Amino acid sequence: MTNDLKIYDLVVIGGGPAGITAAAEALSFGKSVALADSHQEIGGAGINTGTVPSKTLRETALALSGLKSRNLYGVDLSLRREVTVADFLGHEEHVKDAFHASVTQSLQVLKATIYWGTCTFLDAHTIRVNLGSEDRKRDPSALGEAIQLRGEKILIATGSSPVHPDVFPFGHGEIYDSDTILKLNRIPKTLAVVGAGVIGAEYGCTFNALGAEVHIIDGRAVLLPFLDAEVSQALVGALQRSGIVFHWRENVQKCIPLESGGVRLELSSGAALTADAVLVAAGRQSNTAKLGLEKAGVKTAERGIIPVNEHFQTNIGNIYAAGDVVGFPALASTSMEQARRAARHALGLGGSAISPLLPNGIYTIPEVSMVGETEESLKKKDIAYIVGRANYRENARGRIIGDEDGFLKLLFRKDDLKLIGVHIMGDLGTEVVHIGLVAMMGNASANLFVDACLNSPTLGMLYKTATLNALQNVPPSEKTCLVERT
């Protein structure tokens, strides 16, 4: 067993969205980078088990279930009886494979060195990679079972895994977490989802679109509590209308796989629920337990989360962490930006800063997305504001695509009509929110959307409608003055 020591400007542990982004950023500035990952395939949860697969399945579900065409045209395009799970997951596999190929290729173009194997710290600058058999085949120079990587700087981007509360006997019967749910070999007739967070809400909607009867169980009584309350309530209404049943203020006290094939859940209220399958979406924990962080002196907090400062530095100066491993919000989008910032700070590249405006995009059906303040956060801060609303059903494209529930809600600061919050529920909401995001990054006020010429018919026009709606809440005498240009 040899112990080659290889030296790099930056060693990245974990090849998900955060790790890939950090490596690419450093490489594009001519730095030497090693990326080590234990999964034998690049992409992390972003490509392999999380973001991309779940969103692909969602899109497929929307298309193949005929949900849209049935509502819009009164024509049932559904092929449900003929469509197998393989049909639904076939496109997802294809998308995933294409991603692996393209990410691998772009890292090759940038001349990243990739090691497949599990990593442990030997000290604050040294990582031991226990090489997988695949990697040894690819790199005959690595004769032994392990190599050592020395990084001037090290980035931990190992992601997170689903928490398995003791009450659920994983491994017995139809009990799944978000990593395994895609391996279902049939669409369950009834699906119980434990946890009304992002993952529970998203998969609940997808399986509902696929024709499953979905029950969402949560100990609280609010869906996605970080949303503006109006949006959260509207989303509950939309999901209920689409057939999802919520069991609020309920905890699962017993979970019993049945011989007949289903699963029986006993709830804290005394009620019981039998489902064909259970998805446990009860939070995630950071993948830090096996890293040997104590050797490097890196501290962790509850659920294995690594605390970081605003530069994404851990308590050990040359070691950074980014992505799910640092906790909330644990989205692919924010993970990539955290990693970019960490790499730039670590390597003294300066320049870029993450915008403090982090949008939240939830791929429920309908989508919800937001950036900036909520009505609740503004009330807490005692900031006076004006609300402007626009409904999809009064928007030309909204009407064409047949979204009856969707709406955009803008929050303007009352003093100067600066845009300070954007909230959207509806088709393509995760895209449409970016218009408001970019406006906020440019410090825009209501004038921008009064003056803007937007394509018609588009959902983008909702911004103009909502802005004009907000200005209607200003008396005519003040209005001319308020929209006067400087």
Of 411-430, which residues contact a second copy (CB under 8 A)? 428, 430
Please state the closest distance from residue 135 (CB atom) to a second copy, in A: 26
Out of 351, 381, 382, 415, point to the residue binding a second copy (CB under 8 A): 351
Q: How far apart are CA 32 and CA 24, in angstroms?
A: 10
Cβ–Cβ < 8 Å for 88, 57: yes
Out of 141, 185, 260, 480, point to the residue binding a second copy (CB under 8 A): 480
User: Is residue 355 near a second copy by the rule CB under 8 A?
Assistant: yes
Residue reference for tokens 């909520």? 374
**Complex with a second copy: residue 10 or 319, whichever CB lies closer:** 10
Q: How far apart are CA 220 and CA 364, in angstroms?
A: 19
Please state the closest distance from residue 21 (CB atom) to a second copy, in A: 10
**Complex with a second copy: residue 234 or 439, whichever CB lies closer:** 439
* Sites for a second copy among residues 430-469 (CB under 8 A): 430-435, 437-439, 441-444, 447-448, 450-461, 463, 468
Say whether 81 sits in a helix, a strand or coil.
Answer: coil
Please state the closest distance from residue 175 (CB atom) to a second copy, in A: 28
Out of 95, 163, 167, 387, point to the residue binding a second copy (CB under 8 A): 95
Q: Sort residue 254 into left (φ over 0), alpha (ψ -120 to 50) or beta.
A: beta
Please state the closest distance from residue 471 (CB atom) to a second copy, in A: 8
Segment contacting a second copy by CB under 8 A, of 90-98, 113-121, 213-221, 226-234: 90-98
Please state the closest distance from residue 67 (CB atom) to a second copy, in A: 11
Question: Which one, of 30, 50, 147, 40, lies nearest residue 96 by Cα?
Answer: 50
Q: Which residues of 318-433 form beta strands (DSSP E)?
A: 319-321, 360-362, 368-372, 385-391, 407-413, 419-425
Please state the closest distance from residue 68 (CB atom) to a second copy, in A: 7
Q: How far apart are CA 361 and CA 343, in angstroms?
A: 25
Please state the closest distance from residue 218 (CB atom) to a second copy, in A: 24
Cβ–Cβ < 8 Å for 165, 282: yes
Number of residues that bind a second copy (CB under 8 A): 94
Neighbours of 50 (CB within 10 A): 24
**Complex with a second copy: residue 126 or 160, whichever CB lies closer:** 160
Q: How far apart are CA 458 and CA 73, in angstroms?
A: 20
User: Is residue 85 near a second copy by the rule CB under 8 A?
Assistant: no
Out of 19, 46, 197, 426, point to the residue binding a second copy (CB under 8 A): 46
Distance of CA 149 to the CA centre of its chain: 31
Query: Residue 102: CB partners within 8 Å, gap ≥ 6?
Result: none
Neighbours of 84 (CB within 10 A): 11
Neighbours of 474 (CB within 10 A): 18
Out of 217, 401, 408, 466, point to the residue binding a second copy (CB under 8 A): 401
User: Is residue 385 near a second copy by the rule CB under 8 A?
Assistant: no
Out of 81, 302, 350, 381, point to the residue binding a second copy (CB under 8 A): 350
Q: How far is CA 44 from CA 41, 51, 288, 312, 332, in A?
A: 8, 10, 15, 19, 10
User: Is residue 55 near a second copy by the rule CB under 8 A?
Assistant: yes
Say whether 104 sits in a helix, a strand or coil.
Answer: helix
Out of 1, 75, 185, 486, point to the residue binding a second copy (CB under 8 A): 75
Segment contacting a second copy by CB under 8 A, of 83-91, 124-132, 310-318, 407-415: 83-91
Residue 452: both structure tokens together = 């803007």
Q: How far apart are CA 119 and CA 269, in angstroms?
A: 45
User: Is residue 334 near a second copy by the rule CB under 8 A?
Assistant: yes
Please state the closest distance from residue 348 (CB atom) to a second copy, in A: 9
* Sites for a second copy among residues 97-156 (CB under 8 A): 98-99, 102
Length of the chain in terms of residues written: 486
Segment contacting a second copy by CB under 8 A, of 8-16, 73-81, 181-189, 234-242: 73-81
User: Is residue 171 near a second copy by the rule CB under 8 A?
Assistant: no
* Sites for a second copy among residues 239-268 (CB under 8 A): none
Please state the closest distance from residue 363 (CB atom) to a second copy, in A: 9
Cβ–Cβ < 8 Å for 369, 362: yes
Residue 93: both structure tokens together = 């596999």
